[in-house]
Structure 1
Amino acid sequence: MKKFVITISLVMVIGLLLGIFFYNQTPNQALPDIDPQPEEQSIDETPTQPEQIQGIYLNEQIGYSLQNDRLQITFDKGKNWITVPIEKDQLFAGEYNGNKQELIDHSYLLTENRTAFLYAEEPSWDNETIRILYTLDQGKTWMNSVVTEHYMGVRFRKVGFVDDQFGYIIISGGRTMSQEGSNVFLTFDGGQSWQETNNSGVSRLIADGGFVDAKIGFLSFGTINPEAPELYVTQDGGNTWKQATVNIPSEYANIFVQAETPFIEDDHLAVFVNQGPNGDYKGGLVKGKFISTDKGNTWVFSMEVSPDEANK
């Protein structure tokens, strides 16, 4: 019995040794590749800030922006912006387009009580519809009215209001070299409807114009090398126009050559006459001030004024 146990033990030892020997002779097998766990990526949950609007301000509170090809206006220095329901290209339609970075001078009004934009719809260059878009409640509601239809290539454009009801629009178009047509439209109901006045009959390029009341208005002509102011006046709401007499002192001949829009000052009318596009007298920016005591028929020289004084 003892021999049997010893024999069994020897067999087990020999088997164990053989197992170890054959295990060491077996080539190592590569373990399968294990993809590492993906790293967690942090996500920036900070909300995207809206693009800051760069406004063009007319005073401390009121301004506009053409950023992103949209016209927007503000009445609180940019805290709130109101989108104007108009296509940007319509504001620059016509023969003259401006630089499209700022609105065309005189083509709009932007005040607390009235905002208005003059624009053109143009199925073709020679068949434009001139319209005015306006609001009386800072953009809460908008109104749109037709000024004239079938207009050809608008160049000069100006809108103004003397009071809540009476306003004027002056436009020109159909330019050929230094000749063009100009037209005046008046409203007596705050801009809802517009009536054309009789034509002045002048075909020179218009430089400026406006009304001081419902009867007295002015048109200033001559933009290309003017030699003397050419100012026309109406005293009957545009039924008739005649050339005013502007008495230029001899020492200012060929210096003060282009009349701006007259305005009421105390008990008379006043107008600044500038040096035109090529003036060089005292830097070219000094203007002559003239006054009229007969409702704009005749004008006499008063004084020279600096640009700062003229812009007050």
Structure 2
Amino acid sequence: MDQELLIIELLSAAEPIYVQAQKNRHKNLIFAFLYSVVVCVLVFGLGSFIYQRLRWQDGVADSNYWLQSSAVLGILIAALAGLFFSVNAIQGIILRRSFQRFLVRCVQKAEKYPIVFQDADSYYLAEQLEKKKIRLSKEECIELLTTLDDAKVYLGNRQVFLGFSSLQLFVLTEEPTSITMPAPKSSKINRKWLILLLCLVLGLAGIFANRHQNNSSEDTVSTISSSEAPRSSTGLLMQQGTPPNKQVNQANYLDFNNETNELYMTTDSGTSWSFVPLKAEWLRSGSYLLTSGEIPMGYWMDKTYDVSQDFSWFIYSQNEKALNFLISNDNGKTWQKSLVSENAQWIRYRKAQFFADGSGVLVYSNASPEVSSEGLEIYQTNDHGKTWSRSNGTTISQPIQNVSFVNPTLGFVSTREKLYYTNNSGSSFKEAVVTIPADYQTGGLDLFQSPNEVTQVTANQLETKLYLLKMSGIDQGKMFACLYRSSDNGETWQFAEQLSEVKSTE
């Protein structure tokens, strides 16, 4: 049949074709909307469900990844659905304005399938015999017109994908050959809707489980009475006991409750207390032993935590492997944790320092029971500890007594016998030259006594205290804090004066 002649004749049936095209477009829009809603609910529901499962596990660095990923995927799907709606609307405008071009495409598609079969319910279009390509339900086919040579032109709906369809034009020049085809399985359609319904139910179940988990975690605080404290949604502890009711001599103080095994902090000498959502064992992870035995619970390494109204922080590990950092900027009302290292085993010494611009340094040593040397790991932050990145690492030949950074670049490491310095953020360390007077001897600072920081007193001068044993005179055998100064960025240190005696109880 001549294409141009058929197109001209079809122009007389423009209105029913346009009406059918609009119905088909609206149907596709409805399916697109349903699929986008179901997929978004499914993705967000499963993402929420996985998020809840992960963030209740110890040592998970970033369970938010799953929730963020599902949210991004849901937004992407919604954007694609919006794009589909926009394209569909544009097609509707183009259809009205370029109807003849639309007819050309319909006629070209019809010519690809010149052979037509039929059974009781459907027409089957084929490119050649025995190769049926398209099934069109007779109920959805409409007769458009009869051409001048008595051929009948029909318009049907061609199923494309999961409910989406497109218009299909075909021409009958004679009665189609009848064939016997297996009855169409209505279960296929039912299966599609069943899958959609199942996805929707799974998604809603995930969201419900998420909300139910949050609610149940809050209820657990008052119902659980076992020695194992309940976990909050971030993997931290939730308060079970009551805060201390006492005043202390320090404005900022960390208190350990022996009865409930809970930590509380105050920033006003005990007038008010805030719960710290950590186990004491997490704060004391790794080695806490001296030659005289284990340090009692309630005593902590210096600079492993700090308490203040606008910036409280704690270094801790829940599993003796992953090292975390906990922050509060509102006097303990809310907490945020970050991952420092996923592989921090055999921890002994650990410490963090912060500077005025929000930068900071966190160090920890790996101590093996078989050797005396220790590996020192150095991490840095530029956002008050919200994120950490490994800067450098080195090996120190003796157990580390203290690490002190003047700024993120210039730092010092002391042992009982030696003092090392770095001026490149730990990329390399050199041994500093320390002048020891004849009547003194290096003895070093015991690990759990308050270490002495290196401070910058002027642009060209550093100061610190070193603990030395007196070897002669009436003070023989006693340890004293001695003031040392350096005017070459810590390469050499000179004795300035003897300060106070260091008692063994200190």
**How does the TM-score come out when normalised to structure 2?**
0.45
Aligned length: 246
Alignment of 1:251 onto 2:439 = yes
Q: Separation in 2 of the partners of 1:54 and 1:282? A: 45
Cα offset, 1:170, TM superposition? 1.6
Give the 3 Å change call, closer, same or farther, for CA 236–108 of structure 1 in structure 2.
Answer: same
- 1:143-199 superposed Cα distances (whole Å, 9 cap, x missing partner): 111111122121111122122511111211232252332212111221112222322
C-alpha displacement of 1:94: 1.3
RMSD, aligned α-carbons: 2.8
Give 1:76's aligned residue. Answer: 268
1:62 aligned to which of 252, 255, 263: 252
What amino acid is the match of 1:103?
A: W
Alignment match, 1:33:
none
AA at the equivalent of 1:62: N
Counterpart of 2:314 in structure 1: which amino acid? F
Distance 2:273 2:345 in 1: 34
Cα distance in 1, alignment partners of residues 498 and 343 from structure 2: 43
| 1:267-305 Cα shifts (integer Å, max 9, x gaps) | 4101111137x9995663412211001111111111101
C-alpha contact 2:368 2:374 (8 A) present in aligned 1: yes
Contact 2:287 2:347 in 1 (8 A): yes
2:254 and 2:363 map into 1 onto residues whose CA distance is 23
- Hey, what's the Cα distance between the residues in 2 that align with 1:285 and 1:169? 29
Partner of 1:99: 296
Structure 2: distance between partners of 1:305 and 1:244: 22
Measured in 1, the distance between the counterparts of 2:308 and 2:477 equals 33
Q: Compare 133-142 and 91-100 and name the one that shifted more.
A: 91-100
Structure 1 counterpart of 2:329, one-letter code: L
Structure 1 pair 134–56 and aligned structure 2 pair: CA distance change class (3 A) = farther
Structure 1 contact 95–173 (Cα < 8 Å) conserved = no
Q: Aligned partner of 1:114: which letter? A: F
Calculate the TM-score normalised by the size of structure 1: 0.70
Contact 2:253 2:269 in 1 (8 A): yes
2:374, 2:395 within 8 Å by CA — same for their partners in 1?
no
**Would you say 1:298 and 2:492 are equivalent positions?**
yes
- Report the Cα offset of residue 81 of structure 1: 1.3
In structure 2, C-alpha distance between the alignment counterparts of 1:102 and 1:163, rounded to whole Å: 28
Are the counterparts in 2 of residues 66 and 101 from structure 1 also a CA contact under 8 Å?
yes
In the alignment, which residue of structure 1 is the partner of 2:330? 137
From the superposition, tell whether residues 264 and 281 of structure 1 become closer, same or farther in structure 2 (CA, over 3 Å): farther
CA distance in 1, matches of 2:358, 2:475: 41
Q: Does 1:159 align with 2:356?
A: no
- Any conservation in 2 of the 1:182–1:203 contact (CA below 8 Å)? no
Helix, strand or coil at the partner of 2:297: coil
> CA 1:239/1:178 → structure 2, altered by over 3 Å: closer, same or farther?
closer
Indicate the residue corresponding to 2:305 in structure 1.
108
Question: For 1:124-155, what per-residue CA distance to the aligned partner results, in whole angstroms no more than 9, with x for missing partners?
Answer: x5xx1111101122112211111111221211
Residue 373 of structure 2 contacts residue 396 of structure 2 at CA under 8 Å; is this kept in 1?
no
Deviations 1:18-44 (A, max 9, x none): xxxxxxxxxxxxxxxxxxxxxxxxxxx
Match of 2:315 in 1: 118
Taking the aligned partners of 1:294 and 1:192, their CA distance within structure 2 comes to 34
Q: Is the 8 A contact 1:56 1:63 kept in 2?
A: no
Report SS of the residue matched to 1:201.
Answer: strand
Q: What does 1:170-249 correspond to in 2, within 5 Å?
A: 170-176=363-369, 177-222=371-416, 228=417, 230-249=418-437
Does the CA contact (< 8 Å) of 1:234 and 1:240 recur in 2? yes
CA distance in 2, matches of 1:164, 1:140: 24
Q: Is 1:286 aligned to 2:477, yes or no?
A: no
- Give the whole-Å Cα distance in 2 for the aligned partners of 1:69 and 1:156: 23
Q: Is the 8 A contact 1:55 1:64 kept in 2?
A: no
C-alpha change, 1:137 and 1:307, in structure 2 (3 Å) is farther
Query: Kindly tell me: are residues 257 and 73 of structure 1, through their superposed partners in 2, closer, same or farther at Cα, counting changes over 3 Å?
Result: closer
Task: Indicate the percent of aligned positions where both proteins have the same amino acid.
Answer: 26
Partners of 2:243 and 2:317 in 1: CA distance:
29
**Corresponding residue for 1:3?**
none
- The letter for the 2-side match of 1:246 is V
Cα offset for 1:53? 2.0
Answer yes or no: is the 8 Å Cα contact 2:244–2:264 preserved in 1. Answer: no
Q: Which structure 1 segments of 5+ residues have no match? A: 1-49, 223-227
Going from structure 1 to structure 2, the CA distance change for 1:275 and 1:167 (only over 3 Å counts) comes to same
Confirm or deny that 1:149 pairs with 2:342: yes
1:251-273 CA distance string (max 9 Å, x none): 32x24656943112234101111
Does the 8 Å CA contact 1:272/1:290 hold for their aligned counterparts?
Answer: yes
By how many angstroms is 1:120 displaced? Answer: 1.0
The match for 1:270 is: 463
Question: Letter of the aligned partner of 1:81 in structure 2?
Answer: W
CA shift at 1:214, angstroms? 2.0
The separation in 2 between residues aligned to 1:103 and 1:154, in whole angstroms, is: 14
